[in-house]
Amino acid sequence: MSALKYLGARALHLGLPDCIYRQASGVFLYTSDEDLFGPPADRDPLTASDLAQVLGRAMGRAGFAGAVYAPLAVGGHVDHRLVRAAVGALDCPRTLFYEDFPYCVREEVPLPGLADCSSGAAFDSGAGVMVTGAGPTAADAAQLARGSGGPCLGRLTVPLERDNVRAKVRAAASYRSQIGVLFGSPLALAMGIWRQARRSAGGLGYAETLWAARSPD
């Protein structure tokens, strides 16, 4: 909550437990890294369809009609996969997927369920930002080409100021329980965020990478 407070955002709790707390017949379903970073368990009581209905009702009650930001599911975390699939099933006028940090900066992480949009052709995002069709690295492009028929996505590069990156570092540092497991130290977290912002900008300045739906050529 401290990260949201710092950023001026509001949380809406939907009463849905993280995967490590979900059970079937009294048995926890996700107890290893293989479980956490694999496909949803067959007996998972939370499905993408269920989640889409919950999100749709919540958005309807709130009268929400803005852009929806959801995880791209880089790295394959099961909850990120569910959210991405659920959001993809919603009838949203604009959906943007963000690259899951820190998985997006690690080598050979999967980009599950993307169609082949790695030709490099530009397209009109309607978002007022620089857009290219290719992935940020050759490995990403190869993953795109091995996609499984999901929506065709194109890369959007959103320029950032240094203050934007500083705000991201400060907000991320609020998740103290995650720092030791994923980064080892607050300094390593900060360095990773700055490095990713530079990488997204191609080494010139700082940027955030998003992915938006496009029609296949």
What does the pLDDT look like over 31-42, one tens digit per residue?
999 999 988 999
Confidence at residue 107, expressed as pLDDT on a 0 to 100 scale = 54
Q: How far apart are CA 115 and CA 149, in angstroms?
A: 5
Q: Confidence band (pLDDT; 50, 70, 90) for 167?
A: very high
Q: Confidence band (pLDDT; 50, 70, 90) for 151?
A: low
Long-range contacts of residues 121-129, Cβ cutoff 8 Å, at least 24 apart: 121/217, 123/154, 123/214, 125/154, 125/156, 125/212, 126/94, 127/96, 127/156, 127/212, 129/156, 129/157, 129/158, 129/159
Task: List the CATH code of the domain at 2-6+22-213.
Answer: 3.40.50.10320
Q: How far apart are CA 2 and CA 175, in angstroms?
A: 9
Domain assignments of the chain as residue spans, ordered by start: 2-6+22-213
Confidence at residue 119, expressed as pLDDT on a 0 to 100 scale = 36
What is the DSSP secondary-structure string of 30-59?
Answer: --SHHHHTSSPPTT-S--HHHHHHHHHHHH
Confidence at residue 117, expressed as pLDDT on a 0 to 100 scale = 40
**Is the predicted pLDDT of residue 13 greater than 50, yes or no?**
yes
